[in-house]
Each structure stands twice: as C-alpha cells, then as structure tokens.
Amino acid sequence: MAGGLDVSMDTWNFVYACLVSLWLHRIYIYSVTAFGISLWIAVQFFTTKAKRKDEHSNGNLVSSEVVEDKLVNGYATLQPKEVYVAGVKIFYGSQTGTAKRFAKDLAEAVTCFNLPVEVISMGDYDPDDCLAEETTSKNICVFLVATYTDGKPTESAAWFCKWLEETSNDFRFGKTYLKGLRYAVFGLGNSVYVDHYNTVGRNIDRWLWMLSARRIMTRAEGDCNVVQSKHGSIEADFEAWKSKFLNCLQALCRGEKKPCSGKCKKGKCKSQGKQSKESSNPERGAPEFENAETEELFETTSEEEADAEEAGGPDSVVDVEDLGKIMSHMKKAKRERELEDGDAGMSLLGETSGRKEAGERREMITAALRDALTKQGYKLIGSHSGVKLCRWTKSMLRGRGGCYKHTFYGIESHRCMEATPSLACANKCVFCWRHHTNPVGTEWRWKMDQPEMILREALENHRNMIKEFKGVTGVRAERLEEAMTAKHCALSLVGEPIMYPDINRFLRLLHQRGISSFLVTNAQFPEEIRNLEPVTQLYVSVDASTKESLKRIDRPLFKDFWQRFLDSLKALSEKQQRTVYRLTLVKAWNVDELKAYADLVSLGKPDFIEVKFKINGHWCTWIDYERFQELVRAHVDSGGTQTFTATDYTARTPHWALFGSNQRGFDPLDVRYQRRGKVRDISGC
C-alpha cells in the first residue's frame, strides 16, 4: 500500500515539475507558436498566388473555356467564364501597302490568343451599316490608317473617314452613337510633311471619341522619316506599338482592365500609371511584351482634343448646351469691335462717313461662323451662301429609297441639290436643328454676291461631293452618273433664302439649266413672296397658329411678326403655282391649337390641303418637271404676261406612293434598309 502511494507521488511530482517549467518558459513557447502560425500563413499566401498565376498563364485567354464548378441540386455543373473579348477586327487604309502588311502581321500575332480575327479594308466596309453593331459585339476594333497627300486619307479610306466625320458632327446620331465600341489607332505618316503629319489617324481617333467610343490604349504614330522616328523606322514603331497592344489585349481577355484614377480634367486622364518614362524620354523604346505588365489600361481622350477645348481653338467641339456661352462671347467681342470702330470714327469722321455713303458692307460669314458651319459639313460659297449633301441623296445613290419628296412629288433624291443663297434668318426658333449657328437679321445688310457665281460654285461643290461616292460599297453606278447632273434644287438648307435681294434672278438661272426649284420661307417677308417669280413649289413653314405661340416658338426679330405672318399667308394664296404648308408641331408647345390651324389653312389656301389634286378619281400630287420648265420658259419669254397654275404641270401619283398601298410609300425599285437594334431616323430635308 505504501509502495503504491510512493509511485503516485513521484508521478505527480514529475507532472508538477513539467507544468512549472512550461510556465516559467511560456514566453519562448508563445514566440515559437506565433512564428509557426505566421510561417504557415505566408506559405499558404504565396502558394495560392502562384497557382492563380499559373491558371492565367496556361491559356485561359479564351473566355468561353470552362473554368469553374458549382453545385446545383446536388450535381456539379460547369460554368463558362464571362466573355471579355469576342474577337479582333483590324481595319486598314493603305495606299502603298504598308498598312495592309501591318494589318496582316498584327492578325497573325493575335491568333496566338485563340481569338477570332478579321482583316478588313476600309474601302470594302460600310460603316453606315455595320460600325454601330460593334458597340455590342465585344470585339476590339483596330485602325491602321495612313495619311496621304495634303493630310487626306487614302482612296480606300476616304468614304469611311468622310462618314465618320459627318456622323461625329451630326446631332441626329447623338454623342453616344458608338458607346460601347472599343478601339485602338495606329497612324502611319511622314514627319517631313509637318503640317499634315498623321492627320488621318488623329482625326479618326478624335471622331470615334466624340461618338463615345472607348480607347483601350493611347493612339500611336509611326513615322516613315527614319531621322525623326522614335524607334528608327516605321516598322520598328509598329513593332513597339504591337507589343503594347498584345499586352493590352491579353489583359482585356482576362478581364483585368483597370479603371481610371478619376483625377481627370477636360477629358485628359491624370492616372499615375500612365506617366511612364517613355512619355518623358522620346529616345527610349517601348517596353517589351513580357515586361509591359505595369502599363495601366484605361480609356482616355486625345491630348489634341483636350488642348483644343482648353484653348477654344477652331477645332474644338462645342456642345449644344454651351452655345449660350459662345454666343455671349461673340456678342461681347462684337461690342468691343464696335467701340473700337466708334473710336476710330471719332478721329476719322469724314472718312467713315464717306464709307457709309459709298455703301460699304461687311461679309455675312465671319471666321467663327465659317468654322462652325464647315464642321457641320457645309460647303460655303462666297460670303453668304452654302450647299450640303442631304442624307437622302446618299441613301438613294445606294438604292435605299429617297426622302418624302420622292414619294409625294416624284423628286429624284439623288439628283437633288440642297442649298441656300442666304445663311441669315429673321427667326431664332426653339427647335432649330442648325443650333443657331447662322446669323440673324430683319433686312439684308451684308455684301452681296452675284447669283451666277453662287449657282456655278454650288453646282461645282455638289458634284465634288457626289464624286466622293465613287467606289463606295452599295452605290449604283447608273445613279452615280445621273447624280452628276442636278435636276432639283431644295432651297431649304438653312436661313431664309427669300432674304437674298437677287432671289428672282437666282431662280431664273436654275430654271434655265432645267433645274426645278423648291423654296422654303418662314413667312416673315410678305412683299418678297408677292414679288417672287414662279417657283416649282413654294413652302411656308407654319410653326404656330396663334400670336402667343408663334412668339414663343419662332422668337421672331420683327416687332410686327404676327401681321407679317398673316400677310405672308395671304400672299401665298395669291400665287398660282404649287404651294405647301409645312407644319412644325412640337409636343407641349403647339399641338393643341387645331382650330387655329384650320383658320390659317383657310387664309393661305395651300394646294395640298384642297382636293383639287384628285383629278377624275386619281391623285396627281407628282410634278411633271419637263412641263414646268416649258411653262416657265414661256412665262419668261412673254415678259410675265403668259401665266400658268399648279394644275398645269401635275402628274399622276404612282400606286406605291398612295396611302394604303402594300409598299407604304416606298419605291419598289429600291430596297428598304433598317439598322438592326437602332431607332429609325425618319427626319428629312
């Protein structure tokens, strides 16, 4: 019994001694334990990171691969990874073949990512049909474009560039027309031609940006001038850019696109990662493909665009919302010039008076106005006239139908010239789709160009714009040839054509060339309407039916605007040729005044309200243009004594243009085309 007790005591003493030893050395034990836990955490972290890196580098670039397991209803299902890049489309515009060669080289390099790649000549691509589809395709669009003579695009890229420029400045497409399209631009040029170096690449970059397309990397420029080339040759410039592009594409395929830091001003990105040594040291080459991991990936805007906005230069883009500020600056500058002129006049009173007596007048088109209208696609003529190609002219050249005047009156849209002999107007309408870029006035107080010069240059500019469609995809050769000779002139481009003092002489010149005339007036010049010589068809814009709504909508400059409006409609009723009311109805502005509109119709008696154009049970809204030319020649030869009326040159309306027809007003000789997923544009000239 005593022996058993001794064994128990010895065991207890041993355990007690161990516990005391552990307690006395507890600090060391805690330290070792903490070190072990830290070491285990570090090993787990680096092991997991290495595994993830291996997964990304082992060909998981095609985003349709199966990469993830999930448990659904007790079964393991395979889930596809999100598609970040569906493919790459490489567009090139080349004159000597360099851009084409670069495009094929880039396509070959892209195939290593197992991505679909397509090389497309800009001359074989129709941006009007297809480019908007890239906003949802998840493709990356690459543009390799050369700058040709005098800063112009190559022949194959001319139509693409023209369409893109017009679209970026056309409010009907909107600023977000290409939102979602991702792109990169590499320009080819020669710095020997300083004034036009890489102009085309810069323009395409800017126009795409204006339509809300997103850059995946900054635009690059290749230089054929080996002395100034950053990498010694244009081939080396391309190789350096290609390495960056492939790295960028690889990151996009993994979905690793990093956002901008947000420290941006006026579209110029200030992200820290973009301030690379390369940008500050032009002599240093681009980093290699493998070492380019550090490059930030984000959308940015071109430096030229940001600088132009800050400087307010002629190429700056002006939002509609900013027009008020612009107009204020212009008015302020005008007042300053008038004060300067006044000071000079005080010291040179006699000379100034002599000038006024001599009737010296300033030009209507100022430098700022010329820049604004040119940007909108106008071809300006002399000091107060202009011409522009209508979108329906382009449509009919391609056999896709004409404007409403083709359906209603038989006009051939591809042979119609849209022009004006006066950019000035007497109204400042709230719905003006010209953004009030044209001057305003109640009388002609500018220098006046001769009508012969205006018509000659208008036809020449119109033909030159038509020539640009030669070789464009879808354009019908026979219609292109017909379009070279204008048959109709729509004097509805901008401004008030009837303000031009020599408008009757201008109309006679049109008719002498066998060109029909469609003139639009805003009903503020009744005397001019009465004195107007025969016009093929005279339109009056009826924008409101009461004095209050007309003042609110048209914002006329004349104090007696309402009486002028009524007198203009009375003068219209006295015209013997075809007359038309063009009603402009704006929701919440003037659509509730139907009774007042009916009273105005009774006052002006426009032809296309009365049923006199339904003859013997047949509608005769079309125009016999040859008959009109015969009648107007007889009228001129007789000194105005031989008159004629609208019914003398009517033609029977074809069945397809009538209400209720299966064609619904669309010419069966053409092919109706509608953009997929886009709202139809039903606007017209």
pLDDT value of position 4: 56
Please give the single-letter amino acid code of residue 165. Answer: E
pLDDT value of position 515: 96
> What end-to-end distance do the CA atoms of the chain give, in Å?
122
Average pLDDT over residues 5-27: 76
Average pLDDT over residues 612-628: 82
Q: Which helix (H) or strand (E) holds 89?
A: strand 87-93
- Find all residues with CB under 8 Å of 84, minimum gap 6, and list them: 63, 138, 252, 253, 254, 255, 257
Per-residue pLDDT at 63 exceeds 50: no
Greater confidence (495 vs 678) lies with 495
Helix (H, G, I), strand (E, B) or coil at 672: coil
Percent of the chain at pLDDT exceeding 70: 74
pLDDT value of position 96: 86
Cβ(521)–Cβ(529) under 8 Å?
yes
Pairing of strands 385-388, 87-93: unpaired
Q: In this structure, what token pair is assigned to residue 29?
A: 């034990």
pLDDT value of position 669: 81
Cβ(182)–Cβ(213) under 8 Å?
yes
Q: What is the pLDDT of residues 121-179, one digit of tens each?
A: 998 888 888 898 898 889 999 999 999 878 889 988 988 998 899 888 877 778 889 99
pLDDT value of position 374: 83
* Average per-residue pLDDT for the chain: 78
pLDDT value of position 277: 38
Q: What is the pLDDT of residues 185-203, one digit of tens each?
A: 999 998 888 888 999 999 9
pLDDT value of position 81: 63
Percent of the chain at pLDDT exceeding 90: 33
If you ran DSSP here, which 8-state letter would residue 440 be given?
B
pLDDT value of position 235: 92
pLDDT band at 318 (very low <50, low <70, confident <90, very high): very low
Please give the single-letter amino acid code of residue 627. Answer: R
pLDDT value of position 79: 53
- Is 633 exposed, middle or buried, given 0-12, 13-18 or 19+ CB atoms closer than 10 A? middle
State the residue for tokens 């516990």: 19
Pairing of strands 537-542, 516-521: parallel
Per-residue pLDDT at 593 exceeds 90: no
Q: What is the pLDDT of residues 322-368, one digit of tens each?
A: 444 445 555 555 555 544 444 434 333 344 444 444 456 788 888 87
Greater confidence (72 vs 447) lies with 447
pLDDT value of position 73: 45
Question: Phi/psi of residue 603, each to 5°?
Answer: -75, -45
Cβ(150)–Cβ(286) under 8 Å?
no
d(CA 485, CA 488): 9
Question: Phi/psi of residue 339, each to 5°?
Answer: -65, -40
Greater confidence (53 vs 547) lies with 547
Average pLDDT over residues 553-568: 91
Per-residue pLDDT at 43 exceeds 50: yes
Helix-strand-coil split of the chain, %, nearest 5: 45, 15, 40
Average pLDDT over residues 94-117: 91
The closest alpha carbon to 593, from 625, 550, 563, 630, belongs to 550
- Is 109 exposed, middle or buried, given 0-12, 13-18 or 19+ CB atoms closer than 10 A? middle
pLDDT value of position 175: 86
| Predicted model pTM | 0.61
pLDDT value of position 588: 66
Greater confidence (243 vs 44) lies with 243
- Find all residues with CB under 8 Å of 516, minimum gap 6, and list them: 411, 487, 488, 489, 510, 536, 537, 623, 625, 628, 629
Please give the single-letter amino acid code of residue 479. Answer: R
What is the DSSP secondary-structure string of 266-314? TTB---GGG--HHHH-TTSPPPPSTTGGG--------HHHHHHHHHT-T
